[in-house]
Amino acid sequence: MRRMNISRHDLVHRPRRLRSSDAIRSLVRETRLGVDDLIYPLFVVEGEGVREEISSLPGNYHLSIDRLLDEVEEVASLGIKGVILFGIPDQSQKDEKGSAAWAEDGIVQKACHSIKEEYPQLLVITDVCLCQYTIHGHCGVLEEGCLINDPTLDRLANVALTHAQAGADMVAPSDMMDGRVRAIRNRLDKACFKEVGIISYSAKYASGFYGPFREAAHSAPQEGDRSSYQMDPANSNEALREMELDVEEGADVIMIKPALSYLDIIRRAKDNFNLPIAAYNVSGEFSMVKAAAQKGWIDERRVALESLTSMKRAGADIIITYWAKDVVKWIKG
Ligand code: PBG
């Protein structure tokens, strides 16, 4: 075999040429993170005048509706196009069924009304789940410690319907029951909410990265875990199957969650479906960077932008992130 005998002086290909200045780097950059990619999560609580920082999610707050509107004002003025709402009912409103989740005057329903009244242009997405509303903290109907699929569907469809009635533009079921996209689509269509979209948490893994969220939403299961409905982190083909079913059932956007440890799943989703792909940069992904930054071990801005850019590079069209407001400030300034 003839040996290629190229000395280092003969190099023809020098990829470093395209990295030699800010100008050229910016011209050849393949992925750009922009304000149009972002959705900001908001946590709504009962009461008035409440704006309490969530200790596990620094810079994010529990907000009563009056203060929520101030926050939404800021979000909208930054140019962020959408928010996703999580309701946190009072402990006294929780019951075995999670009925506060579909109450007409439930916390999310009230929040939707108020936001849409003042900010009709802002896209309001609601998280559809029961875990914040049930005493047991599971995402559906629990019988003898088992989460029962089909009776849960009716409840989830009720939740989605009341959110739509309150003005939600899109609903995002995060429970991982089988058949919930179809159940929700049918219920919305029957009630003439054909224009309300579904962002489905299609591939939602049973992840340790939700830890800080559960503190924020008071939604940890009292007993057991969510492994019988959320996905095994070891699986990838199963995620495609879940997405396929959700697309068939009528999802408008498919979501992968968490994002950072599942970039391969985001890429497979992008390559396999002609639907917008959303990625949820979840609480643990955010909080671990915050904590390390507080210790001076990591540069928050740099690592946050790197993480979010990676999600986009992997194929995400939409990113839900607790950094949304910061990102806009960072990329502007
Ligand atoms: C509700 C829900 C969870 C998250 C979003 N919706 C928690 C869970 O499934 O336990 C997690 C979001 C985050 O960690 O940022 N089912």
Residue range 236-265, pLDDT digits in tens: 999 999 999 999 999 999 999 999 999 999
Segments making up each domain of the chain, as ranges: 32-332
Q: Catalytic one among 204, 270, 290, 312?
A: 204
- Model confidence at 305: pLDDT above 70: yes
Mean pLDDT rounded to a whole number for the chain: 95
CA distance 327 to 333: 10
How many angstroms does the Cα of residue 13 sit away from the middle of ligand 1?
Answer: 47
The pLDDT score that the predictor gives to residue 310 is 98
The pLDDT score that the predictor gives to residue 124 is 98
Give percent above pLDDT 90 in the chain.
86
List strand residue ranges (DSSP E) for the chain, in order.
38-45, 51-53, 61-64, 82-88, 123-128, 141-143, 146-148, 170-173, 197-204, 253-257, 277-281, 318-321
pLDDT-derived band at 57 (thresholds 50, 70, 90) equals very high
The pLDDT score that the predictor gives to residue 114 is 98
The Cα-based distances of 141 to 38, 93, 238, 325 in angstroms read 33, 17, 24, 36
Is residue 204 among the annotated active site residues? yes
> Quick one: average pLDDT of 274-301?
98
How many angstroms does the Cα of residue 214 sit away from the middle of ligand 1?
Answer: 7
- Model confidence at 96: pLDDT above 80: yes
The structure tokens 């639907």 sit at 275
Q: Which of 133-142, 194-203, 215-224 shows the lowest mean pLDDT across its residues?
A: 215-224
Which of 42, 205, 210 for a ligand 1 pocket mutation test, highest count of atoms within 8 Å of Cβ? Answer: 210
Which H helix or E strand runs over 287? helix 283-294
Is residue 332 among the annotated active site residues? no
> Quick one: average pLDDT of 323-333?
94
How many angstroms does the Cα of residue 288 sit away from the middle of ligand 1?
Answer: 16
List strand residue ranges (DSSP E) for 89-222, in order.
123-128, 141-143, 146-148, 170-173, 197-204
pLDDT-derived band at 6 (thresholds 50, 70, 90) equals low
Q: Which CATH architecture has domain 32-332?
A: Alpha-Beta Barrel (3.20)
Q: Which atom of ligand 1 is nearest to the CA of 212?
A: 14
